[in-house]
A and B are shown apart, each in its own frame.
Chain A
Amino acid sequence: AQSVAQPEDQVNVAEGNPLTVKCTYSVSGNPYLFWYVQYPNRGLQFLLKYITGDNLVKGSYGFEAEFNKSQTSFHLKKPSALVSDSALYFCAVRDGGSNYQLIWGAGTKLIIKP
């Protein structure tokens, strides 16, 4: 069965420090992987995706993610965190052979402290 795991409910990082939000996945075929961010009482905003190609994907707002096939991971990273990065982050995966339906992780709350 397809699944996505975000093992951390919350991640706390000091402003200016690097941040990592973890995501692991399980799909039967080639994975299409996504990161979305949600600010309070708002819809989701697309950050980045991995479909194929370079394992390091760069996205919006200075975020990047690394696809690791052997570890079935797609961790979200940023070299230097900003207070404004504080939000809820969701990892999602789609089986390449399926329709557009996404399988969602539980979400990780990212708190950046000044």
Chain B
Amino acid sequence: GAVVSQHPSWVICKSGTSVKIECRSLDFQATTMFWYRQFPKQSLMLMATSNEGSKATYEQGVEKDKFLINHASLTLSTLTVTSAHPEDSSFYICSAPSGSPYEQYFGPGTRLTVT
């Protein structure tokens, strides 16, 4: 099946710094990718839809200047958490629909801890 990778799998950073998370579709092209945030023992919260070659679409309440998304190619989308604060600590997951319009393939997630 289709594979989506994320890098890094975990990262610890200091308050005020920026962190970039990569999401790659390894064996298929993804014009659309989704970025989710998941708090402990909670469901996934869709943050934004990343579109190759155009601006991302952010969900209501998500600060686009804080969570910068760049979909640079058909296999790579990046999420940059700018000026990170402890409340940004979370599990970030990306996904991409494959050739079938019915399924999304998920990356393994990135655990971000801001100290």
Q: What is the interface of chain A, defined by CB distance below 8 A to chain B? A: 32, 34, 36, 41-46, 49, 51, 90, 94, 99-102, 104-107, 109
B101 at the interface (CB under 8 A from A): yes
Please determine whether B105 and A105 come into contact, CB atoms closer than 8 angstroms.
no
Q: How far is A110 from B22 in the complex, measured between Cα atoms in Å?
A: 31
For A99, the chain B residues whose CB sits under 8 A away are 32, 49
Please determine whether A45 and B104 come into contact, CB atoms closer than 8 angstroms.
no
Q: How far is A102 from B34 in the complex, measured between Cα atoms in Å?
A: 10
Q: What is the interface of chain B, defined by CB distance below 8 A to chain A? A: 1, 4, 6, 32, 34, 41-44, 46, 49, 91, 93, 95, 97, 101-109, 111
Q: How far is A65 from B108 in the complex, measured between Cα atoms in Å?
A: 25
With beta carbons under 8 angstroms apart, the residue of A34, A41, A49, A101 that contacts B109 is A41
Top 7 closest pairs, chain A to chain B, by CB: A43-B106, A43-B108, A100-B97, A44-B106, A43-B109, A106-B43, A104-B43
Which single residue of chain A is at the shortest CB-CB distance from B10? A41
Q: How far is the CB of B38 from chain A (nearest CB, A)?
A: 9
Please determine whether A49 and B103 come into contact, CB atoms closer than 8 angstroms.
yes
With beta carbons under 8 angstroms apart, the residue of A45, A100, A101, A106 that contacts B106 is A45
Which single residue of chain A is at the shortest CB-CB distance from B93? A43
Which single residue of chain B is at the shortest CB-CB distance from A109? B41
